[in-house]
Amino acid sequence: MTKVLTITILLVTSTAVQSAEPNQYAERAEEVTGFIQKNFFDAQSGVYFKTVKHDRLDYVWLQSVMFANLTAAARIEPDKYALPLDAYFTALDGYWDAKAKIPGYEAAPTRGNGNDKYYDDNAWLVITFLEAYETNHDPRYLQRADETQRFVLSGWDEEIGGGIWWHERHKDGTKNTCANGPAAVGCLQLAKFETAEAPALIQKAREIVAWTNSALQDDDGLFDDRKVVATGEIKRGKLTYNSALMLRANLGLYRATGESAYLDEAKRIGEAADWFLDKNTGLYRDAVRYSHFMIEADLELYRATNEPYLLERAQRNVDAIYTNWKANTPDDMMSSACIARALWLMSEAETEPGKAFWRNADKFEK
């Protein structure tokens, strides 16, 4: 795997409180990001260990969350985080299987010609590479996003009427919301930059959303986890990240097409997401590895609708996960990366440069 220089990120200390004052979110995000760098970064590989035990490198899905974290950090503190982000992008080549017929990211570091690629893992990377491209306009990120999305879309077939499989070898025999939701978001984000392919990408996003709605959406607007292709059985169980990415896909379709039905559906999912809240605390019940995606969806929907409950719900959850992190710091990398990512995004929601970035990122020039 690629060797990179060790990059030291300063650890910023902070006092745990119940609610952050404006502009404190970035300080807290730096604190958590510094903790990750100190405790999980592997200088030899350039990527991150799964736990503080340093017994193995983390899987690529979890690496994608850390990449999203550094992408947000590089917007707010470019002098500090731009070089680590660039080095990390290069180091992730250790997971890239360029020898496969349709290249993509393997779950674990690979020598090539592997067969353990998950379509959802790759879809998460498409989304964060495109955000990184919006952040620094490095064409390598756009190129890799395009290459990776080609792998993601290769997972679509017409069994049970369509849908993208979870795994390239059809492990578990299912087509999952967690693969289809982010695949649709990736299509719509890529369409902003690949103008020649934009009509086809928008149409594919329509098809993915329509299939996922018909196959996995419950009557309340939220989404079940997966469908068994051989039997048609729906594996029940609603997780925040599934509904969050379908909310974002509907918002993306609204921006790309101007069709108000997609905005109405995004709003319906957003309102239905109260189901995920603990009635006593008002906090998302899911583990942060899932719920931080719903926080991100809350902020995106808030930018589109200005409905105060969305910002309040996101802020309440971000404050709580930071407070819990201070009280009981997790020993896995991904949990801290999710928390840091949410903190950076909350910081941007309260600053003019952050708001300006997302106003531009949310635009779709038709």
Q: How do the pLDDT tens digits run along the chain, 366 residues long?
A: 333 333 333 333 333 334 455 579 999 999 999 999 999 999 999 999 999 999 999 999 999 999 999 999 999 999 999 999 999 999 999 999 999 999 999 999 999 999 999 999 999 999 999 999 999 999 999 999 999 999 999 999 999 999 999 999 999 999 999 999 999 999 999 999 998 999 999 999 999 999 999 999 999 999 999 999 999 999 999 999 999 999 999 999 999 999 999 999 999 999 999 999 999 999 999 999 999 999 999 999 999 999 999 999 999 999 999 999 999 999 999 999 999 999 999 999 999 999 999 999 999 987
- What integer pLDDT is reported at residue 21 of this predicted model? 57
Contacts for 112 with CB less than 8 Å, ≥ 6 apart: 97, 98, 99, 100
Q: How far apart are CA 128 and CA 115, in angstroms?
A: 23
pTM of the predicted model as reported, rounded to 2 decimal places: 0.93
- For the structural domain made of 24-362, what CATH number should be given? 1.50.10.20
Helix (H, G, I), strand (E, B) or coil at 329: coil
Output the six-digit token pair for 30: 């730096």
Residues with Cβ < 8 Å from 115, sequence gap 6 or more?
Answer: 168, 169
**Per-residue pLDDT, 23:** 79
Task: Return the structure tokens found at 328.
Answer: 């009981």
Answer for the pair 289, 334: CB distance below 8 angstroms, yes or no: yes
